[in-house]
Amino acid sequence: MTDIPRRRRKLAAILMADVVGFSKMMERDEEGTTSRILEFHDRVKGEVERHGGRVVGTAGDSVFGDFDSIVDALDCATEIQQALHAENVGRLPEERIDARIGLHLGDVIVEDYNIFGDGVNIAARLEQMADPGGILMSEAVYQQVKGHLDFPVEELGTRNLKNIDQPIRVYRIGPDTFGGVSAGDAPSPPGRQSEPGQDLRDAIKSHVRNEIETEMEAAREKLRPSGAVVESDSASSGKGVWAIFEPGTLAITAIGVFGVLARTTGWSDNDWYPFLGVFFLGIAGGRLLGGLTGRSGMNLLLQAIGLGIGAAFFDKAALRAVLWVAAAAMLGAAIQGLRKKPKGTGEPHGP
Q: Round to whole Å and give the CA distance between 119 and 12.
A: 8
Q: How does residue 76 score in pLDDT terms, banded at 50, 70 and 90?
A: very high
Is the predicted pLDDT of residue 347 greater than 50, yes or no? no
Is the predicted pLDDT of residue 162 greater than 70, yes or no? yes
Q: In this predicted structure, what is the pLDDT of residue 341?
A: 55
Q: Round to whole Å and give the CA distance between 255 and 102.
A: 28
Q: Judge whether 243 and 287 are in contact, CB under 8 Å.
A: yes
Helix, strand or coil, per DSSP, at residue 95: helix
- Per-chain mean pLDDT for the chain: 75
- The per-residue pLDDT for range 84-102, each reduced to its tens digit, is 998 888 778 777 888 999 9
Is the predicted pLDDT of residue 197 greater than 70, yes or no? no
**Phi, psi for residue 268 in degrees, rounded to 5:** -150, 145
CA 336 from centroid of its chain's CA atoms: 27
Q: How does residue 30 score in pLDDT terms, banded at 50, 70 and 90?
A: confident
Give one word for 108, left, alpha or beta, with left for phi > 0 and alpha for psi -120 to 50. beta
Q: In this predicted structure, what is the pLDDT of residue 344?
A: 46
Q: Judge whether 174 and 154 are in contact, CB under 8 Å.
A: yes
**Phi, psi for residue 324 in degrees, rounded to 5:** -70, -35
Q: Residue 256 CB: number of other CB atoms within 10 A? A: 22
Q: In this predicted structure, what is the pLDDT of residue 248?
A: 65
Q: Which of 34-43, 76-85, 223-232 has the lowest mean pLDDT?
A: 223-232
Q: Judge whether 279 and 241 are in contact, CB under 8 Å.
A: no
Q: How does residue 29 score in pLDDT terms, banded at 50, 70 and 90?
A: confident
Span 313-317, mean pLDDT?
Answer: 76
HSE on the CB side for 55, CA within 13 Å? 16
Is the predicted pLDDT of residue 53 greater than 70, yes or no? yes
HSE on the CB side for 289, CA within 13 Å? 16
For the chain, the domains span: 7-178, 198-339
CATH of domain 7-178: 3.30.70.1230
Residue 229: partners with Cβ closer than 8 Å, 6 or more residues away: 222, 223, 297, 336, 337, 339, 340
**Phi, psi for residue 16 in degrees, rounded to 5:** -120, 130
Is the predicted pLDDT of residue 332 greater than 80, yes or no? no
Q: How does residue 170 score in pLDDT terms, banded at 50, 70 and 90?
A: very high
Q: In this predicted structure, what is the pLDDT of residue 2?
A: 55
**Phi, psi for residue 222 in degrees, rounded to 5:** -80, -10
SS3 content of the chain, % helix, strand, coil (to 5): 55, 15, 30
Q: Judge whether 323 and 307 are in contact, CB under 8 Å.
A: yes
Q: How does residue 223 score in pLDDT terms, banded at 50, 70 and 90?
A: very low
- The per-residue pLDDT for range 232-263, each reduced to its tens digit, is 334 444 455 555 566 667 777 888 788 778 76
Q: What angle do CA 251, 255, 259 make, to 5 degrees?
A: 170
